[in-house]
Structure 1
Amino acid sequence: MFTSFTHSARPPFLSHIDMGSIAPVPDICYCHIAFDRRAYQDTLFTRYAIPFPPNLHSAGVKRRAEYLAARYGAKLLLQNQQCYANVSSAADRSPVWPAGWCGSLSHTHDHAIAIIARRRAGLALGIDIEVLAPETMRETVDIFASPQEQALLAGCDLPYETALLIAFSAKESLYKALYPEVGHYFDFAAARVCHLDTFTQRITLQLTQTLAASRPQGSQLTGYYALAGDNVITLIA
């Protein structure tokens, strides 16, 4: 899914920065960052010229480090396109992108990923990164996958727990992609997995309810996934 162009680092906090484009959708650029929250300091917000939002004052180190890494990834992508505005936050904590741009952010405890595209490309973007936890997947599967979806995922050419995590993550990406357009919360049951292609690493989701006039019940959206160590990354575009 990823076509890497550049590699860099900003140690000790940012141990690896990988930037490039999304192979199936070249209009999308990505920045994937590995970071060490043990090296986090509040002064890094100033060093990287990222505004420190008020809602982080009550947050712990983990949340501050994740926020900084993801926002810095977005900043690098925008600067690479000669856009020098920052990604701010709405009241609901969703990212607010500079005029003319759209994007999505995600993070784990030690990885962050950002994607952007020009708004004129007409893409609805959602990205998600998760850490594989097989026991958690088995315990929580009924929350995010119907019995029919579980049967489909059990039959694909992947370890069952990995397939479950791809489905979970894809639905998280779907929410991020459609929320700006839909404007309200919707849960996992709003879409079902109807196909998972392990050869092309694509996943197809179908809406089970109408979310907006432009997103009627039965609409299908294509997602992509990548496996990197214990991480699963999914993208909806």
Structure 2
Amino acid sequence: MDISSDTAEASCRVGPIRASFAPDMDRYEVSGVEKRRHEFLTGRSLAENALCHMGCADPFVGRHPDRSPIWPAGFCGSISHSDQLCAVMVGKTSALRSIGVDIEPQGAVPDGLRDTIYGPGDDPVGSDTTLIFAAKEAFYKMWYPLTGVFLDFPEVGISVLGAQVTARLLTSTAPLPPLQQIHGCVSHCQGHIMVVFALEQAPGAQIRLYDQVSALCKTANAPPRDGKDKPPAAPGAHWITR
């Protein structure tokens, strides 16, 4: 887990949750097979731990009827998992309006779905179908809590340049004009592609998104750290401003 003043990021392997790590998981009602329970409770346990470390008194993360998370007052966040890996990012609403995270196994989305996922606003250079899919999913997970508006794949255009991914909103019916274009970050860990978008609260606010995603990937790829070996800013690190 990586903690800053406004955000917390964590990732781990999907699996049974130890009671010592998340003692209140019994309050989550989860139906379905054991694999589904492990995936859901891994995400909720990571989210609760991140919220607790940020000072949240009651870190319970509920569910709307559409199954999207209900974050405690004063916080926003996003949870994503495959059947192997789970990633969570949580932020304070004093700094962030919304967060979207998506993680997909590399090659998980076959090229046969390319015509469904790609739209006229997508730049396919240097990217693959799974990356474009993950970027659109991450943007949607950031977008939907703010608007309650569903988006189809062609309504978001994606371009990728190195570690930076840019999403452009292509629908004229969308509220929130500031979301017409936003920059996010893409990275790789344990055979997965991860994309993160974070929309800051105030115009001109700055978020070092590259470092946040690097923290998630390092947590997933390395043993626990003592907090003293923060990696230096790598080439391609960037600020996003709104």
Give the TM-score band, short-chain normalised: 0.7 to 0.9
1:133 aligns with 2:122: no
SS at match of 2:131: helix
Tell me the CA shift for residue 164 of structure 1.
2.4
C-alpha contact (below 8 Å) 1:75/1:84 kept by paired residues: no
Match of residue 72, structure 1, among 42, 45, 52: 45
Q: What is the CA–CA distance in structure 2 between the aligned matches of 1:82 and 1:62, rounded to whole Å?
A: 31
1:50 aligns with 2:25: yes
Q: What is the CA–CA distance in structure 1 between the aligned matches of 2:66 and 2:106, rounded to whole Å?
A: 27
Q: What is the CA–CA distance in structure 2 between the aligned matches of 1:60 and 1:111, rounded to whole Å?
A: 18
What is the 5 A alignment of 1:66-215?
66-85=39-58, 86-133=60-107, 136-146=109-119, 149=122, 152-153=123-124, 155-156=125-126, 160=127, 163-193=128-158, 195-198=159-162, 201-215=163-177
SS at match of 1:120: coil
Q: What is the CA–CA distance in structure 2 between the aligned matches of 1:45 and 1:177, rounded to whole Å?
A: 31
Instruction: Call closer, same or farther: CA 1:191–1:82 in 2, change over 3 Å.
Output: same
Q: What is the CA–CA distance in structure 1 between the aligned matches of 2:115 and 2:3, rounded to whole Å?
A: 34
Partner of 2:8: 29
Q: What is the CA–CA distance in structure 2 between the aligned matches of 1:196 and 1:141, rounded to whole Å?
A: 16
How many residue pairs get aligned? The number is: 197
Any unmatched runs of 5+ in structure 2?
199-242
Superposed CA offset, 1:42-63 (max 9, x none): x959963124444x23x11111
**Given residue 194 of structure 2, which amino acid in structure 1 is its aligned partner?**
I
Could you state the TM-score of these two structures normalised by the residue count of structure 1? 0.75
RCO (CA 8 Å, sep 6+): is it higher in 1 or 2? 2
Tell me the CA shift for residue 104 of structure 1.
0.6
Could you state the TM-score of these two structures normalised by the residue count of structure 2? 0.73
Tell me the CA shift for residue 148 of structure 1.
6.2
More helix by share: 1
Q: What is the CA–CA distance in structure 1 between the aligned matches of 2:117 and 2:77, rounded to whole Å?
A: 24
**Backbone CA RMSD of aligned residues:** 2.5
More strand by share: 1
